[in-house]
A = this chain, B = another copy of it.
């Protein structure tokens, strides 16, 4: 699948999004956001240096990323903000509207439904569903909560392609199976469990506790590097989970090797 050499003589690869690396794709939304912000503030031209700074990446990375989309910069000048917004936007699929259903209208589902930030990236929440009959019928963010079985019709009639799962961990796999069975091909889950999906279905997870766990790891590393003695508190929940180690202060970790 890797044809390393012959590229240069060839023009833009078909529609411009063929071999874009995953790492680049993950940064495109960031670039787009920064660019639209600049545009709103009346900026018409940016250099890779400025744009990179604002996006929090290196300028070389930024230029390489944009070059993957068949870039539109002007040598000696920089990038035209308007053009670049259009170009990146089109690559991300913003000329189309990606319809989203939110599954599970608990407090997180509520928050997501009311969150206005999707639209600028081409996605729109068009339906809310919940399996709890006492929630169905409720009006949230201008939409009526529908029964879970309705997903099938949302996919076939409204063209919904993306499901956001905001359900409890215990029912996440079942909800995921249900939306996949209904024909959903992209899933964004907020539940703190690993979901299994069939091949061909895109799954992304956003997990608050995972993120906090990563931050905690770094805090801990920093504290250790500082020789600092952290406050040690053992909440019962952790003890119950079997964590804590002998003596409640396992500083003498085995330094194998």
A interface residues (Cβ-Cβ under 8 A, vs B): 11, 13-17, 25-26, 28-30, 32-34, 36-37, 39, 54-56, 70, 82, 85-86, 89-98, 100, 106-108, 110-112, 114-115, 117-124, 159, 161-162, 164, 169, 185-186, 188, 192-194, 196, 202, 204, 206-222, 224-225, 230-235, 237-238, 241-246, 248-251, 253-257
Interface-central residue, A162, A237, A249, by most chain B CB under 10 Å: A237
CB-based nearest B residue for A218: B202
Known A-B contacts A111-B108, A209-B121, A238-B89; the reply to A17 vs B220 at CB < 8 A is yes
Known A-B contacts A254-B14, A255-B16; the reply to A162 vs B85 at CB < 8 A is no
Asked if residues A186 and B218 are in contact (CB atoms below 8 Å), the reply is yes
Interface-central residue, A28, A221, A235, by most chain B CB under 10 Å: A221
With A86-B246, A185-B222, A188-B212 given, name 6 new contacts (CB 8 A).
Answer: A28-B213, A93-B217, A97-B231, A97-B234, A106-B111, A123-B212
CB-based nearest B residue for A32: B213
Known A-B contacts A15-B254, A216-B93, A253-B95; the reply to A86 vs B123 at CB < 8 A is no
Q: Which residues in B have their C-beta under 8 angstroms from that of A25?
A: 214, 217-218
CA distance A92 to B244 in the complex (A): 11
| 4 tightest A-B CB contacts, nearest first | A93-B220, A89-B243, A13-B224, A29-B213
Q: Which residues in B have their C-beta under 8 angstroms from that of A28?
A: 213, 217
CA distance A250 to B257 in the complex (A): 62
CA distance A219 to B202 in the complex (A): 8
CB-based nearest B residue for A224: B13
Asked if residues B17 and A224 are in contact (CB atoms below 8 Å), the reply is yes
Return 20 A-B CB contacts under 8 Å, by A number: A14-B251, A14-B254, A16-B256, A17-B224, A25-B217, A33-B193, A34-B194, A37-B193, A70-B253, A70-B257, A86-B244, A94-B243, A95-B253, A97-B232, A97-B238, A118-B212, A121-B209, A123-B215, A162-B219, A188-B212
Asked if residues A253 and B218 are in contact (CB atoms below 8 Å), the reply is no
A56 vs chain B, min Cβ distance (A):
5
Q: Which residues in B have their C-beta under 8 angstroms from that of A234?
A: 95, 97
A117 vs chain B, min Cβ distance (A):
5
Asked if residues B253 and A29 are in contact (CB atoms below 8 Å), the reply is no
CB-based nearest B residue for A112: B208
CA distance A16 to B224 in the complex (A): 11
